[in-house]
Structure 1
Amino acid sequence: MSNWYSESSPLERRTFWASFGGWALDALDVQMFGLAIPALIAAFGISKADAGLLGSVTLFFGAFGGWLGGALGDRFGRVKALQITVATFALATFACAFAMTYTQLLILKAVQGLGFGAEWACGAVLMAEIIRPEHRGKALGSVQSAWAVGWGAAVLLSALVFTYAPADIAWRLLFALGLLPALLIIFIRRGLKEPPRAIASEKTPFFATLSGIFHRDVLRATLIGGLFGIGAHGGYAALTTFLPTYLREVRHLSVLGSSGYLAVIIVAFFCGCVASGIISDRIGRRVNVAFFASACIITVLIYIFAPLTNGEMLVLGFPLGFFSAGIPASMAALFSELYPAGVRGTGVGFCYNFGRIVSAAFPFLVGFLSDHIGLGPAIGIDAAFAYSLVLIAVLLLPETRGKVFEQAAATRA
């Protein structure tokens, strides 16, 4: 990260840290759910399928949030939309701590999904428009690595809270802590500059902005990008939603033990995001994604189906996290380069988040299939199928590396 970062202007650096912080906060709030699944099952007396539905609802509404958030950024400005989205998902996560019934928690998880889906769309496009094109892949890959930071923070908080607090209130404390970082992110974003291309779209009707991505000039990109999103999010959701549960209930690891396994994957995810950004700028978006998607399929199948010892699982956890990071790390740059200025946020938000509508079924399917074939095979089959869709989609997209956006120099000035 050092070379491109040292060459960046003060505005580019402020935008980077704002986007990085927002995405880390997203991950903190969302990943706490996966870590709390066993406690939620006990607290509300629900099945694994019911727990999976909570994750599916978040992903489903996150899809609509991303599409709407991207359009709001195109119509009213990226920075304004960012502050609203951060407040939305942070407050929803905090409210989850006070849910008294399964239905209440289900509704709050839907609101959380709207917020975190919209946040990524606004932040990713803002970063893509501010940064110079030769560093776009590296900058956005580094922003994506913030997910590992938030994920790691969630694992640490979970280990501490569930170790020292009674199980029946530990999950509530965990969700309540999700509110705190939002104050810092909102403060940072107050000093950001709105890109001129976003301001120029203020007179466009909002519905026209939403539907602009289905115009014949960009329809192909929208359809293939949506397929890409299905595979990327489906694989990630199938793998990570129930991974903590798999490590505890199938591999019989303690909370601290499973946190150690997750730590390896999280560190690897961070490294994979940064590496994917560097490779993407050097050899192109398509080859980069194809490599990481193929590696994901192979690694997931080995991790779940091979008769590995606990020590071998720990070692293999690094390539699992590394390769799974390369796909989402490439999406912001690739999708931003597929669309013109007036619908860039809408297009990025739709392609990235449309996958959540379909991929919302993956956690539910994992939970359902686990009752018939076991949790491990359910995770492995769903994840491998999803990553195969990514491989197909990227082969149908054009190469966009180095694309120069409109008024790029004026924005960075």
Structure 2
Amino acid sequence: MHWFHEIRRDQWRVLFAAQLGYVLDAMDVLLYSFALSAVKAEFQIGSAAAGAIAAVPMVTSALGGLVFGYLADRYGRARALAWSILCFSVLTALTASSRSIAQLILWRSLAGIGLGGEWAAGSVLVAETWPAEHRSKGIGLMQSGWALGYMAASLMAALVLPRWGWRPLFLLGILPAFFTWWIRRNIPESPEWRKERGSVTPLLRPPLLRRLTLLTTLCCCLLFGYWGLFTWIPTYLASPLAHGGAGLGIVKSSAWLFPMQVGAFFGYILFGLFAGRVGRRAAFLTFVLTTAALIPVYGLCGKSAGILLAMGPAIGFFGHGYFSSLGVIAAEMFPPESRATAQGFSYNAGRALSAIAPATVGALADRYGIGAALGFTSAFFVCGGLVMVVMTSNSPRSI
């Protein structure tokens, strides 16, 4: 662990900002997943409709990734990071004011624009600030913020939902807005950004166009599988056995999710170390194919709470860890002047195209039960592995 001492204090501060930004991103996104059952009951909609509403911010995040990616390339990574967090936190809080499905869709769609920009700005900031030999570790630590945000959301749901309902839960989404003041005062801009300002034109020509297409296809596969699975796991655990769920209820299911997110936290961090030993491609394939194998088993074990509890850390570990490769690969595929735009577009275009995943799994859940529907997502993790085989494991350039 001697490498800890090779990272300067300002580089740790940049990592903290990006990681905390990702914590808040995850927390805001997952509040809806935990509130899914309550939203369905209040507005009297089915699982497919509820899943479609969950998909709305994924669609608009593609626009957010493009807009904030361009802003990050043009006006600075730290500025874009602060702006994106301010955007999604305010709009998430406004979701609490929804009195109709139309209003709910409006606020969720606008919040998605801010959510789409956070990852691009934060991951590029870390990649351009940390030393090249430790970049994978830095991105892995940043990605681990998603697991922390998931745990924060599950804790908030367990404390707030049973007592006050889903509206106060979304109202708490305003909290990340106060973090933006600290970012603007304490986080310097990337030295790479200072050298070259934004331009999207190179992305429209070879060879960057081919790289952008491959990276977007990879993100489509991974994010379809991810959102189809993890949007519905809280509902799967809480739903009655008669509906294909595990019958744990809201409070108990939140407790079951904690071990899963502990596994996710270590998956994000340890992926980089594992990839350093066996190579990025081998590490990536190990993680996604193991995830594909575990999901059907997990979905069909709803009657055994003990098995679900035991499998949770493994699902979290393998089902999240591979994301630590995306920031490093993407950062090294594109030049500084278009890097954030490329990352923002590819990741969030994948998120947008995967928007049908929650609705698809929801429709299958209405017919076959939630547990069986989760198994459908395995195919997309396998497809992600195939796309990675096509992509080179060696970075085309070093930032």
**TM-score bracket for this pair, using the shorter chain length:** over 0.9
Cα deviation, residue 6, structure 1: 2.9
Equivalent position to 2:205, from 215, 218, 233: 215
Residue number in structure 2 paired with 1:312? 307
Partner residue, 1:186: 181
CA separation in 2, counterparts of 1:39 and 1:106? 16
Per-residue CA deviation, residues 31-68 of structure 1 (Å, 9 max, x unaligned), is: 11100001101111112111111111111111221122
Cα displacement (A) at 1:253: 0.7
Q: Which amino acid aligns with 1:378?
A: A
Number of aligned residue pairs: 394
The equivalent residue for 2:149 is 150
User: Runs of at least 4 residues of structure 1 off by over 6 A?
Assistant: none
When the two structures are superposed, what TM-score results if normalisation uses the length of structure 2? 0.95
* TM-score normalised over the length of structure 1: 0.91
> Conserved in 2, the CA contact under 8 Å of 1:284 and 1:400?
no
| 1:175 alignment partner in structure 2 | 170
**Structure 1 position 401, deviation (Å):** 5.7
- Letter of the 1:388 counterpart: V
| Corresponding residue of 1:335 | 330
Aligned alpha-carbon RMSD (Å):
1.7
1:402, CA displacement in angstroms? 10
Change (3 A) 1:51 1:269: same
The runs of 5 or more residues in structure 1 that have no matched partner are 406-413
Which residue of the partner structure matches residue 58 of structure 1? 57
Which whole-Å deviations, capped at 9, do the CAs of 1:209-258 have from their partners, x for residues lacking one?
34532311212211111111011111110111111111111211122210
Asked if the contact 1:221/1:338 (under 8 Å) is kept, the reply is: yes
CA separation in 1, counterparts of 2:200 and 2:222?
Answer: 23
Question: Any conservation in 1 of the 2:62–2:345 contact (CA below 8 Å)?
Answer: yes
Q: 1:366 to 1:307 in 2, by over 3 A?
A: closer
Q: Which whole-Å CA distance do the structure 1 matches of 2:28 and 2:155 have between them? A: 13
Per-residue CA deviations over 1:66-90 (Å, capped at 9, x if unaligned) read: 1222122112211111111010000
CA contact (8 A) 2:48 2:363 kept: yes
How far is 1:3 from its partner?
4.1
Give, as a single letter, the amino acid of the residue that structure 2 aligns with 1:347. Answer: A
Residue type of the alignment partner of 2:215 = G
| Alignment match, 1:394 | 388
| Alpha-carbon distance, 1:201 to partner | 3.8
- SS in structure 1 opposite 2:323? helix
Would you say the 8 A contact 2:35–2:161 is kept in 1? no
- 2:80 corresponds to 1:81: yes
State the distance in 2 between where 1:241 and 1:149 align.
16
What pairs with 1:198-237 in structure 2 (closer than 5 Å)? 198-202=193-197, 209-237=199-227
CA–CA separation in structure 2 for the residues paired with 1:320 and 1:196? 38
Alignment map for 1:29-48 (pairs within 5 Å): 29-48=28-47
| Aligned twin of 1:242 | 232
SS in 2 for 1:252: coil
SS at match of 1:181: helix
Determine the C-alpha separation between the residues in 2 that align with 1:238 and 1:211.
34
Matched, 1:360 2:366: no
The one-letter amino acid of 1:174's match is L
Q: Post-superposition shift, 1:287? A: 1.6
Q: Deviations over 1:288-322 (max 9, x none)?
A: 21111111101112111357611011101111110
Give distance in 1, aligned partners of 2:256 and 2:397. Answer: 39
Moved more, 191-200 or 315-324: 191-200
With 14-23 and 178-187 compared, the bigger mean Cα shift is at 178-187
1:99-154: per-residue Cα shift (whole Å, max 9, x none)?
11111110111111110110110111011000011111111011000011111011
Asked whether the equivalents of residues 94 and 178 of structure 1 are also in contact (C-alpha less than 8 Å), the reply is yes
- Distance in 1 (alpha carbons) for counterparts of 2:346 and 2:277: 24
Cα distance in 2 for partners of 1:311, 1:370 equals 23
What is the aligned partner in structure 1 of residue 255 from structure 2? 260
Q: What is the distance in 2 between the residues matched to 1:74 and 1:25? A: 22
| Alignment partners' CA distance in 2, 1:193 and 1:262 | 36
Amino acid at match of 2:217: L
Please tell me the residue identity of whatever aligns with 1:321.
Answer: G
Give aligned-pair identity as a percent. 33
Partner of 2:320: 325
Aligned pair 1:351/2:325, yes or no? Answer: no
Judge conservation of contact 1:281–1:401 (CA < 8 Å) in 2.
no
